[in-house]
Amino acid sequence: MNDSIKHMSAAEWIMLIALSILWGGSFFFTEVALKSFHPFTIVFLRVFIAAVIMNIIVPASGIRMPSTGKIWAGFLILGLLNNAVPFSLIVWGQTSITGGMASILNATTPFFTVIAAHFFTSDEKLSLKKIIGVIIGFSGVIVLIGFGTLENGVNELKGQLAILGASCSYAFAGIFARRFKTWGLKPMQITTGQLSCSSLLMLPIVLLIDKPWTLAPPQISGILAVAGAAVLSTCLAYLIYFRVLSSAGATNVLLVTFIIPVSAIILGILFLNEQIHARHFIGMAVIGLGMIAIDGRLLKRRSKA
């Protein structure tokens, strides 16, 4: 696999930037939705609404969903790793930290992916360049978590660790999703399959833990936020994600995790009065240096200049 040196076209860059805005918006939508819903309810509504939409779009587009048990077992695992677990951890984490902070910590996904790929793939082993990148990247995390814990205590630490857990889950999802390419599945099929399965996974959790029927009626803003997370940050985003993944490769598509905080931070500042401190920018910059070290393209270009 040679994703690290594959150049993206202008269209792929546009899709990647659009994806960063859509996923950055999910942190904003979550902040708003948490004022009306419990965490697991938000996650269930997000994946369920998205699944319903996709199950309407797919047959209307003349695409048939696969019927083999092997593929649906794969959808179930992907729905767990790519939706149910990370979405739940992120939403719960945002009960104690801001969306901007969560989006920055989410940018650690490539570092977890590099580590996991070393142990679970045969063609993406750790190199000196990757090891250095991982060390630099997690140094940025230490900057964020270390100062945050001293200032705000244990609750913020729990929220930060939850986001890191979500990033780790995304990393395993990315590795697991590689097999869908060999199965010849379309992005719409993968999106529909994983969302349908993650909806089934989240339903009993919501009924047993959140008991949504006992809650007060949600605010209109909360309903709109959940709808935005489902339609924009899930349906549309995953369609773009799998399209870029199939054409540009896993290494390229993971660059989106470092662009996401830009839109998440801007939305948080403009609409939620969130404050961004110097440590956030320092930590983000260090994480960015780690990604540059892993990717290597900017360094190669400088050496050729």
DSSP secondary structure of the chain: --GGGPPPPHHHHHHHHHHHHHHHHHHHHHHHHTTTS-HHHHHHHHHHHHHHHHHHHHHHTTPPPP--HHHHHHHHHHHIIIIIHHHHHHHHHTTTS-HHHHHHHHTTHHHHHHHHHHHH-SS----HHHHHHHHHHHHHHHHHHHHHHHHH-HHHHHHHHHHHHHHHHHHHHHHHTHHHHHTT--HHHHHHHHHHHHHHHHHHHIIIII-GGGSPPPPHHHHHHHHHHHIIIIIIHHHHHHHHHHHH-HHHHTTHHHHHHHHHHHHHHHHH-----HHHHHHHHHHHHHHHHHH-HHHHHHHH-
Decide if 3 is inside a domain.
Answer: no
Decide if 181 is inside a domain.
Answer: yes
Decide if 1 is inside a domain.
Answer: no
pLDDT at 283: 83
Decide if 305 is inside a domain.
Answer: no
pTM of the entire predicted model: 0.87
Decide if 55 is inside a domain.
Answer: yes
Radius of gyration of the chain (CA): 19
Which residues form the domain of 14?
9-300
Residues of the chain whose pLDDT is less than 70?
A: 1-7, 146-153, 249-251, 295-305
pLDDT at 133: 83
pLDDT at 290: 82
Decide if 2 is inside a domain.
Answer: no
pLDDT at 134: 85
Query: How many domains is the chain built from?
Result: 1
Decide if 4 is inside a domain.
Answer: no
pLDDT at 5: 42
pLDDT at 148: 52
